Amino acid sequence: MRQEYIQYQNANQSFEEVAENFVVRRKEFERVMAEIRNYDGYSSFQHTVFVGRRGSGKSTILRRIQAELSMDKALNERYEVVRLAEEQTFIYKLYDLWDYVIREMNVLGYAIQIPDFRDYRDDMKQFSKILHELITDQLKKKKKQLILLLDNIDRILSLGNHHEEASLLRELLINFKEIRIIGGSTVMSEHFWKYDKPFYQFFSIKMLEPLTNQEIKALFNHWSEKRKLPEIKNIMEKSPGKLQSIRMLTDGMPRTMSLFVDILLNQSVNNGYQYLQFIVDKATPIYQERLALISEAQKKVFSELAFFWDAASVEDLIPKCNMEGKLISAILKQLTDIKYVEKIKGKTKNNLYRVEERFFNLWFNMTQGGLQHRAIAKALSDFLESWYDATELNSYCSNFSLHISHDKVSQEYTMAMSHALMSSKFIKWDIKRNFYKNLEKSNTINKEDLNDLKSYFSDIDVEIDTAFEQGDYRKAIELLHLS
């Protein structure tokens, strides 16, 4: 296995490297920076939250803001910037938040003494206020504002008795202008939109939408130049459709797209599927976290929908989910609202649904599908048809067939790709037939699996095959024209 070409990680980069590698999401960054630059120090302002799926670039924007505030001398005179760790497992209560802010400020040169919490054990709310006061007093002395960058801010808003804690945080942020929060959230949490929540319409919400084709091109060009990989630029120039395929498969999520560089540069029969598996493995933490964020009932509906691969109706899902249609409809609406599922207008009054990010669906089927070869085949076939044009796909199938005839391919690889290629509507009959014959001769697939693969042939395919075997070439040619 070759090394990873692109490592989508900025946590260990210098501020200069962060700025240099910041290619997309520039508009969102500049809007926030304009607000910071133009702030007079006295007027009211709105705190900001970037909302987007994991891998959409939230942490990168926060890191870029931190870099700008740290490198710009004029801004550095007016602002302090603190960015807490992404996961924030150490924050349990509001006073924990202020405690860690003080620790970070002390690293920057402050000398704030944290009082003993035991002196406030009967009133920990007061302890939170005291810590906040220590922070704001120091900022006032230096005539500075603190820019507090918080990944996963929705977790902060759910601390302990979250309504009481959130209410206190809101009170402190409204009454004191020394702290400006810029956060990131993977979900449009109820804290932001539910009217009975303390932070209802409190934050300026900035949604991170999928990257446009132009942004994807800029990102891939940057990777090509930065990593000295001219092959990326060459592929984009010779096969511009690949960009659209990547955008469709990843729904324009930057971190997921970075994983596709490997398969973009390694498309041979020898390693194509292995690299796809490699990408699936690399994407696992991203998608496992996304699954962990939804309820068990939502997971059930999502799972059954994923196995359909193609768009499915509520009626299709009822026997699979063993749920009432009304409940499935309600869950699908929830999944649509949080961008896990997309709603498609059907030919009738009934809507259709499918997993919004196709690579998420492919990952799910390949990792959670078990022995459901058909579910995996649909996903793989659709991936191949998106990734290759018809000529490339037929060439791929022919080369793969040749490798099978020489027993150069593992059983797992053969099974997965055989189902995908045999089910593809773009593979020509003669290539599909030759492929199947080589499978029969090889030792990699048993008879039961061969019979399963044979079912991918249409009735007319079977008639053509029979005519050839009987030497009736005229009939075979006539049938080929009909097909």
**Cα separation values, 445 from 254, 271, 421, Å:** 38, 20, 15
Mark residue 175 as left, alpha or beta (left: phi above 0; alpha: psi -120 to 50; beta: remaining): alpha
User: Are 459 and 451 contacting, i.e. CB atoms less than 8 angstroms apart?
Assistant: no
User: Are 159 and 126 contacting, i.e. CB atoms less than 8 angstroms apart?
Assistant: no
The three-class DSSP label of residue 205 is strand
What's phi and psi for 324, nearest 5 deg? -70, 150
User: Residue 64: which of 91, 102, 90, 26 has the closest Cα?
Assistant: 26
Give the DSSP letter of residue 117.
G
pLDDT for position 2: 44
- Calculate helix-pair angle for 411-422, 390-405, nearest 10 degrees: 140
* Domains defined for the chain, CATH in brackets: 25-207 (3.40.50.300), 290-367 (1.10.10.10), 375-482 (no CATH)
pLDDT for position 246: 81
Count of helices and strands (H, E) across the chain: 25, 7
The residue behind tokens 């079912």 is: 455
Please, what's the b/e burial string for 4-38 (b: 16 or more CB within 10 A of its CB; e: otherwise)?
Answer: ebbebebeeeeeeebeebbbbbeebbeebbeebee
Q: Rounded to an integer, what distance in angstroms lies between the CA atom of residue 404 and that of residue 409? A: 6
User: Are 154 and 185 contacting, i.e. CB atoms less than 8 angstroms apart?
Assistant: yes
Q: Which alpha helices (H) appear in 293-410, and where do they start and end?
A: 296-308, 314-321, 325-337, 358-368, 373-387, 390-405
The three-class DSSP label of residue 83 is strand
User: Are 156 and 85 contacting, i.e. CB atoms less than 8 angstroms apart?
Assistant: no
pLDDT for position 269: 46
For residue 212, what are its two tokens? Answer: 């446009």
For residue 336, what are its two tokens? Answer: 């649509």
Bridge-based pairing state of the strands 341-344 and 352-355: antiparallel
For residue 195, what are its two tokens? Answer: 């009217």
**Cα separation values, 310 from 209, 300, 328, 344, 403, Å:** 23, 17, 17, 11, 31
Contacts 24+ apart (CB under 8 A), 275-280: 276/380, 276/383, 277/366, 278/1, 280/362, 280/363, 280/366, 280/367
User: Residue 57: which of 265, 281, 207 has the closest Cα?
Assistant: 207
Question: pLDDT averaged over consecutive 10-residue blocks of the chain (483 residues)?
Answer: 50 86 94 96 91 88 96 95 80 88 94 88 88 96 95 77 80 94 82 71 88 88 87 82 78 80 60 68 86 93 92 95 95 92 86 91 81 66 78 87 74 78 84 86 79 72 69 70 61
Q: How far is CA 97 from the centre of its chain?
A: 28
- State the CB neighbour count (10 A cutoff) for residue 222: 16
User: Residue 329: which of 312, 310, 309 has the closest Cα?
Assistant: 312
pLDDT for position 352: 95
Question: In terms of C-beta density within 10 A (0-12 exposed, 13-18 middle, 19 or more buried), how is residue 116 classed?
Answer: exposed
User: Are 284 and 368 contacting, i.e. CB atoms less than 8 angstroms apart?
Assistant: no
For residue 368, what are its two tokens? Answer: 């959670």
User: Are 232 and 217 contacting, i.e. CB atoms less than 8 angstroms apart?
Assistant: no
Q: Rounded to an integer, what distance in angstroms lies between the CA atom of residue 461 and that of residue 455? A: 10
Give the DSSP letter of residue 344.
E
The residue behind tokens 């030792």 is: 443
Please, what's the b/e burial string for 65-74 (b: 16 or more CB within 10 A of its CB; e: otherwise)?
Answer: bbbbbbeeee
For residue 463, what are its two tokens? Answer: 């008639």
Q: Rounded to an integer, what distance in angstroms lies between the CA atom of residue 385 and that of residue 401? A: 18
Q: Which alpha helices (H) appear in 82-142, and where do they start and end?
A: 94-107, 124-142
The residue behind tokens 């593992």 is: 410
Q: Rounded to an integer, what distance in angstroms lies between the CA atom of residue 101 and that of residue 105? A: 6
For residue 203, what are its two tokens? Answer: 């934050």
- State the CB neighbour count (10 A cutoff) for residue 365: 25
